[in-house]
Amino acid sequence: STTALILQRIHEAMTTGPGYRRGDIVCIETDVASAFRHIPIRPADRKYCVNCINTPSGPRLLAHKRLPFGLRSSPLLWVRPCASEARLAKRIFAECDNRAEGLQLHIDDRNYFCLRIHATRRLIGLLLLDAVLGMQDFYEKIRVSDCPVILGFQWNLRNNTVGIAKGKAEAIVSDIERILAATSGQSKAPVPLLKTVTGRLSWACHVAKLLKPPLRSLYACKAVAERLACRTIALSEEAKSDLDFFRTVLREELSDIDSYRYASEEPQPRQNPSKFSLGMGVQTWQGSSRV
């Protein structure tokens, strides 16, 4: 929804704002290297950040001088300085020649949206700001394109649509097939795998809200498994049917992604207009219902 709001504001600025010019929107994707290691720990507090490791001479205690990844408070401590840097970047770029831009953060991932003609200057500006503030960027992950992958969702900024990234869709289909294979006949499905698939399908429904009703049968099976504390569970016929439905939908999504690579630059048939992430309703687009 945050990405959809940013894109909506940029399009409004290009179409209704005074003095703005139209252009291709691109996303500058950057990632901070070892984000949590940027935060030092006071010497007095290092006794609370100690790990016990096994060595040939026996167990030894290892004290962290930097914030170890996975500490409960580590994301919050990192987000504060990272958000402050983002506000500083927006102040700097606010005086530039175009304001049809937006910045989105997710812990250590940064996505900066701007027009293609400004992308080079914005990227250099972001990297210089990081260098001044001591942020170490993961240069191998820097990417400037009109089809960014943000939190697992594949965006197409040319036609303002969103879908599930190919790798994510393939992983979900693979897990669904494992469950259906495990439940063939009188067999039962592993509960951990069922929880994983249910969670991933729930995540995927963020850009396809009309697909949420079939999740009810999976949530029901998951609730029974948790209440009985069992490791395997027999799925209902409704749950099997719903899993097969999701598998079919995702396979069609994957086939559309593959065919799109060799076709013209038309919108992918299975992708959804990004404005539906804002809850604006359903409309018919290219002959199919979109959510």
pLDDT in 10s for each residue of the chain, 291 residues: 677 787 877 777 766 655 555 668 889 999 888 766 667 777 777 777 777 888 888 888 887 777 665 555 556 667 777 888 888 888 888 766 556 788 888 877 889 988 888 889 999 999 999 889 888 888 888 999 988 988 888 888 888 888 888 888 899 999 999 999 988 877 889 999 999 999 999 988 887 777 888 899 999 999 999 999 889 999 988 999 999 999 998 888 787 666 555 444 444 434 555 444 444 333 333 333 332
Domain extents in the chain: 2-37+75-163, 165-265
Q: Which amino acid is at 27?
A: C
What number does CATH give the domain 2-37+75-163?
3.30.70.2630
Q: What are the DSSP E strand ranges found in the chain?
A: 25-31, 50-55, 58-63, 102-106, 109-115, 143-145, 149-150, 153-156, 161-164, 189-190, 232-233, 272-273, 283-285, 288-290
Alpha carbon distance, N-terminus to C-terminus of the chain: 13
Could you tell me the two tokens for 5? Answer: 């709001």
**Strand 109-115 relative to strand 25-31: parallel, antiparallel, unpaired?**
antiparallel
Cα–chain-centroid distance for residue 47? 35
Element spanning 222, H or E: helix 215-228
Q: Which amino acid is at 34?
A: S
Residue 143 in contact with residue 168, Cβ under 8 Å? no
d(CA 8, CA 261): 26
3-state secondary structure of 166: helix
Shortest CA distance to 44 belongs to which of 71, 61, 65, 68? 65
3-state secondary structure of 168: helix
Tell whether the torsion through CA atoms of 111, 162, 205 and 282 is positive or negative: positive
